[in-house]
Amino acid sequence: MLLVTSSCLLALLVGVVAAPEAWHLAAAPVLIVTAIHLSAGALLFRGVRAALSAAGPVAGEMAVLREGLALLAAQQFQSPKLRALAARVTEAGRTVGDLELWFGVLRERTKDWFLHLSLWMAAGTQTALALDAWRSRHAAALPEWLDAWAEFEALQSLACYAYENQEDCWPEVREGKPRFEASALGHPLLSRARCVANDVRLGEEPAFWVISGSNMAGKSTLLRSVGLACVLSQAGAPVRAARLTLSTLRVHASISILDSLQRGTSRFLAEVERLRDTLQAASHGPVLFLFDEIFSGTNSSDRHIAADAVVGALKERGAIGAVTTHDIALASIARHGGKNVHMASAGGGPLDFDYLVKPRVTPETNAIAIARMAGVPV
């Protein structure tokens, strides 16, 4: 359709220049094409509008997609894995380039310089038809290209992290009973100058830690360090530790849970749903659970009963992990094969923390002291 329109427009221009007195004869094909455009536009209006509305949000991303796929296809890798990824997108860059041209028409058709001509040429209708034709030819291949590119991006990110953190260790992932044994484990987003490392041992004895302690003592950061190390290890990346040995584990965390106005769920309900999912997962394979301030949204009595039941059920299903709490009454849940540890201040002021894991239940609290420091009359 675009070729016919262009040919008719060219014929009109040539006819007017060559024989001005017979311009009406050259204009006839143009009028016919205009009628065809109007008819096609009317018949396909709803479908075209839906297609263009769906295409609009991704129009600006086509250049990124084309350049990324072309860059991947052009590389000369040594690794068989990377060579296979590049081979999967050999034709993708050129093919997506064809698609990018039509998205360019879509982007420009409503601008002042092109508006009237695009309306006469039915650029919107022709673009929608071209996009549909492209989808018919390449719908099956596009997910394959995107999967290959996504995998390459993930591998590249892990490789960059490994290159920039050469002091990190390469973990040993061994099959067998659930375990997580780390020496000098730290959080990878903290600078090495600020990062305080801890040894973490989870497995048969103890299966989990109950970490009590003061506000801001580092309990949540420790949970995140354990979870990140587990995920990075199984993704094939180094970890911020001197040594790490672990089994294959699925990480289930309940950290920074929030309520949802749209879903109509409270923080407590959101946490209960997360814990339910963890219990279900533990019935089907090894799980590493990480619960920050478990059941903090309910009263102390219910909290103790519920936490004891959940941790006991997880232990029976072979899961390992860690639970943090401010409520020292929850220390008793360690009876299911866990161990009580704590994080607290180093002996100075209420915010003088050393971020080290210490044995036993915490002997101190700091909430009132911090409130007083902030000027709250308590």
Q: Are 234 and 286 in contact (CB under 8 A)?
A: no
Contacts of 263-272 with C-beta under 8 Å, sequence gap 24+, read: 266/297, 267/297, 268/295, 268/297, 268/298, 271/295, 271/297
Phi, psi dihedral angles at 283 (to 5 degrees) = -80, -10
In this model, does residue 105 exceed pLDDT 50? yes
Mean pLDDT of the chain: 81
Domains of the chain and any CATH numbers: 44-164 (no CATH), 172-373 (3.40.50.300)
CB-based burial label for 97 (10 Å; 0-12, 13-18, 19+): middle
* Alpha carbons 204 and 293: distance in angstroms, whole number: 23
298 pLDDT band (50/70/90 cuts)?
A: confident
Lowest mean pLDDT among 42-56, 75-89, 190-204: 42-56
Measured in degrees and rounded to the nearest 5, phi and psi for residue 289 equal: -100, 140
Q: What amino acid is encoded at 9 in this protein?
A: L
d(CA 291, CA 304): 14
Backbone conformation region of residue 251, classed left if phi is above 0, alpha if psi is from -120 to 50, else beta: beta
- pLDDT, one tens digit per residue, over 245-260 is 999 999 999 998 777 7
Phi-psi domain of 325 (left: phi exceeds 0; alpha: psi -120 through 50; beta: other): beta
- For 9, 94, 108, 116, 311, the CA distances from 113, given in Å and listed in that order, are 17, 28, 9, 8, 67
User: What pTM, to 2 d.p., does this model score?
Assistant: 0.75
**pLDDT for 332-350, tens place per residue?**
999 999 999 999 877 666 6
